[in-house]
Structure 1
Amino acid sequence: MLKDSTMWYASWFDTPYYHILYKDRGHEEAQQFMDNLSNYLNLEPGEKLLDLACGKGRHSIYLNQLGYDVTGVDLSKNSIKYASKFENETLRFRVHDMSKPYHEKFSGVFNLFTSFGYFEKEECNLNTIKAIKSNLNETGFGVIDFMNVEYVIDHLVPEETKEVSGITFHIKRYVEKGYIHKEIRFEDNNEDYFFTEKVKAITLEDFKAYFSEAKADLIDIFGNYQLQKFHKTNSSRLILIFK
């Protein structure tokens, strides 16, 4: 089953195989990041947060457990359908395109775990920054948790094989035309599958240009989930706080 690379995220993220491959993501690390982030932003219980590109809702669910009123949105209908099982009076999930403003204001809009830079059209990246800014209330902050592309490229593993839940995933990575590509091939039930991930190699300087054009103010920059100082060559993450 060959998948077209155009809007690859719309097809790949909506398959069960995406969640199988990444099921061992560090939930404890993600929760510690949310603890650190909410403390840094000095959020009060009951404040409204938007989890942009929430996937199956792991960050949204935990933030709600911390006492916040959380809305999680994602383009994947299957992910939202799954996440909706966890809804309550202060936790809801909706299908939404993150490059367009949502219809509410929030104390925090979080775009986490490199859920940015997927778009084929460059203006969609800028539109996403503008949408985040428009969804912030007077005291609200936007947060983008992106990869540090220089670190990622320096540490890129060109090929690897991973076996998860009885499926052997063959993964190839490379950089081409300003994008970091990941090709994923596997077989299941005697059928061959091929998916791609393609994320724009957006640097800190690129983000600063987006913020300038969107009239957003960059407040702080961190290099990991412990919110330590960002180093261009050594930090694994690029975490941006803006308003």
Structure 2
Amino acid sequence: MLKDSTMWYASWFDTPYYHILYKDRDHTEAKDFMDNITQYLSLETGEKILDLACGKGRHSIYLNTLGYDVTGVDLSKNSIKYASQFENETLKFRVHDMCQPYSEKFSAVFNLFTSFGYFDKEEDNLNTIKAIKSNLNEKGFGVIDFMNVDYIIQNLVAQETKEVNNIVFNIKRYYQDGYIFKEIKFRDNNEDFLFTERVKSITLSDFKNYFTNANVNLLDIFGNYQLQKFDKTTSPRLILIFK
């Protein structure tokens, strides 16, 4: 039985199974969100965007096709290795810990698709907000696309089975001690695997506290990728615009 490390995201995200399980993510939805958010922020062609925790680069690659100068960073060496094949003069990928400031300034820093709240140390959530702020240029905007935890907990699917590439993933979800857990069990090549995703249930109020402590100004809040008004009960997402 393969257990995840203390930093579960470092082990799980670097396995091929993570990308197998999530290979059918909605790319059209991701593109629509990028269209909507770049238009809302009035970002001009050629401006620099940092895609923080970029994974295999799907958002970065699309943003680059829109004419932006994009840097995608992620802790997963395997994800960055994969994404690097798409590099060009205005698109690059680097291994980087998002708790730490990057070495450049940007017109926008995007943290997308619930790529926040993984850390074992609570202070690292605040450190990430501070790092984002430090990477913004004078007119830059930060964007965090997180789940609406109130909605997610209320609509949690406790048990699910998915078969992908002839692998049967048995998924269990639950809320406990301020975290939302997803246990993923499967068998492949006569070996049993168990990975546990764990994301802190950070509410809008929690984010506001982070922002206050990081001296960040919250500008707007949206509840979905169409940038409609946030509603604590019905919105699937919590999208925060700040600087």
Report the TM-score when normalising by structure 2.
Answer: 0.99
Query: Is 1:211 paired with 2:211?
Result: yes
Q: Residue 124 of structure 1 aligns to a residue in which SS?
A: helix
Question: 2 CA distance for matches of 1:2 and 1:144?
Answer: 32
In structure 2, what is the equivalent of residue 25 of structure 1?
25
In structure 1, what is the equivalent of residue 131 of structure 2?
131
Q: Residue 151 of structure 1 aligns to a residue in which SS?
A: helix
In structure 1, what is the equivalent of residue 77 of structure 2?
77
Which consecutive aligned stretches of 4+ in structure 1 deviate over 6 angstroms post-superposition? none
Q: Residue 73 of structure 1 aligns to a residue in which SS?
A: strand
Taking only the aligned residue pairs, the percentage that are identical comes to 79
Q: Residue 131 of structure 2 aligns to a residue in which SS?
A: helix
Structure 2 gap ranges (5+):
none
Q: Give the alignment's Cα RMSD to 1 decimal.
A: 0.5
> What are the equivalent positions in structure 2 for 1:1-243 lying under 5 Å apart?
1-243=1-243
Offset of 1:5 from its aligned partner?
Answer: 4.6
Question: 2 CA distance for matches of 1:189 and 1:210?
Answer: 44
Q: Residue 193 of structure 2 aligns to a residue in which SS?
A: strand
Query: In the alignment, is the contact (CA less than 8 A) between 1:5 and 1:196 conserved in 2?
Result: no
Offset of 1:165 from its aligned partner?
Answer: 1.0
Question: 2 CA distance for matches of 1:158 and 1:192?
Answer: 21
Counterpart residue identity of residue 42, structure 1: S
Counterpart residue identity of residue 91, structure 2: L
Structure 1, residues 7-53: CA drift from partner, whole Å, max 9, x if none? Answer: 00000000000000000100000000000000000000000000000
Q: Residue 94 of structure 2 aligns to a residue in which SS?
A: strand
Offset of 1:2 from its aligned partner?
Answer: 2.2
Query: In the alignment, is the contact (CA less than 8 A) between 2:4 and 2:12 conserved in 1?
Result: no
Counterpart residue identity of residue 32, structure 1: D
Query: In the alignment, is the contact (CA less than 8 A) between 1:52 and 1:72 conserved in 2?
Result: yes
Offset of 1:87 from its aligned partner?
Answer: 0.1
Counterpart residue identity of residue 110, structure 2: F
Structure 1, residues 188-220: CA drift from partner, whole Å, max 9, x if none? Answer: 111101001000000000000000000000000
Counterpart residue identity of residue 169, structure 2: F
Structure 1, residues 88-121: CA drift from partner, whole Å, max 9, x if none? Answer: 0000000000000000000000000000000000
Q: Residue 173 of structure 2 aligns to a residue in which SS?
A: strand
Structure 1 gap ranges (5+):
none
Query: In the alignment, is the contact (CA less than 8 A) between 1:102 and 1:131 conserved in 2?
Result: yes
Offset of 1:3 from its aligned partner?
Answer: 1.7
Counterpart residue identity of residue 49, structure 1: I
Question: 2 CA distance for matches of 1:88 and 1:31?
Answer: 20
Offset of 1:162 from its aligned partner?
Answer: 0.4
Counterpart residue identity of residue 99, structure 1: C
Q: Residue 88 of structure 1 aligns to a residue in which SS?
A: coil
Counterpart residue identity of residue 10, structure 1: A
Question: 1 CA distance for matches of 2:124 and 2:230?
Answer: 26
Query: In the alignment, is the contact (CA less than 8 A) between 2:101 and 2:135 conserved in 1?
Result: yes
Query: In the alignment, is the contact (CA less than 8 A) between 2:73 and 2:96 conserved in 1?
Result: yes
Larger mean Cα displacement after TM superposition, 5-14 or 56-65: 5-14
Q: Residue 152 of structure 2 aligns to a residue in which SS?
A: helix
Offset of 1:4 from its aligned partner?
Answer: 3.2
